[in-house]
């Protein structure tokens, strides 16, 4: 075997190893990336596109992957940025999420109770959407997506304490607005 053939075979083996590492990363973290993107976009088709774009970006920067201390957090941050960018581009929302808040009523519930729950759910979704981005994003990541404060801090690029305080403040604002809404309904 010539030196060039040996070198070519080593390059192919190295390329295959890098492809295997990337494939393993996709398998291991695709659910996390999807959940983060969905928490921002709330649309399955857009979320799938954002997930794919996230992994394309990882592929583009795969040489940096070896120097990353926490690949999961790095990937989560990329997913968040891609989803936020896509959210700014896309203005439509899923009709099911808007109408029912994504929850199906119990078959045993009365019609009045079902309607009240749907109305409450739609109202809460609107309240969350109306929050300033600085309050909404930590709340969505911690509460709806159940990401740890540490991971949310990495994704948002802020301190863990800031994530907790902003989520707390968002809950306070939501509580105040819900109480006011319930008082008006009486």
Domain ranges of the chain: 1-92
8-state DSSP, 141 = I
* Torsion angles phi and psi, residue 99, rounded to 5: -80, -45
CB contact at 8 A, 57 and 22 = no
3 has pLDDT over 70: no
DSSP-based helix, strand, coil % in the chain, nearest 5: 80, 0, 20
In order of 37, 49, 91, 96, 127, the CA distances from 75 in angstroms are: 11, 15, 25, 29, 29
> What is the three-class DSSP state of 77?
helix
Instruction: Please check whether residue 18 is in contact with residue 50, taking contact to mean a CB–CB distance below 8 angstroms.
Output: no
Distance CA 186, CA 179 (A): 11
Helix runs in 70-159, H state only? 71-89, 95-100, 111-130, 133-139, 149-156
Encode pLDDT of 51-110 as tens digits: 989 888 888 877 776 677 777 888 888 888 898 888 877 644 443 444 444 455 455 556
Higher pLDDT, 125 or 108: 125
Residue with tokens 């801090």: 153
Q: pLDDT per residue over 19-52, tens digit each? A: 676 677 778 888 888 888 888 887 888 889 999 8
What global pTM score does this model have?
0.54
Return the CATH number of the domain spanning residue range 1-92: 1.10.1740.10
Mean pLDDT of the chain: 77
């Amino acid at each position: 075997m010539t030196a060039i053939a040996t070198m070519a075979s080593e390059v192919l083996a190295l390329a295959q190893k890098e492809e295997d590492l990337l494939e393993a990363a996709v398998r291991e973290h695709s659910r996390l990336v999807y959940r983060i993107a969905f928490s921002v976009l709330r649309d399955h088709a857009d979320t799938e596109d954002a997930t794919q774009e996230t992994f394309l970006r990882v592929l583009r920067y795969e040489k940096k992957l070896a120097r990353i201390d926490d690949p999961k957090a790095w990937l989560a941050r990329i997913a968040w940025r891609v989803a936020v960018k896509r959210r700014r581009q896309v203005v439509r929302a899923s009709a099911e999420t808007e109408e029912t808040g994504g929850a199906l009523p119990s078959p045993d519930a009365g019609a009045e109770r079902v309607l009240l729950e749907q109305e409450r759910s739609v109202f809460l979704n609107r309240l969350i959407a109306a929050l300033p981005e600085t309050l909404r994003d930590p709340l969505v990541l911690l509460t709806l997506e159940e990401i740890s404060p540490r991971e949310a801090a990495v994704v948002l690029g802020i301190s863990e304490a800031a994530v907790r305080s902003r989520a707390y403040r968002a809950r306070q604002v939501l509580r105040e607005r819900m109480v006011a809404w319930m008082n008006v309904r009486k």
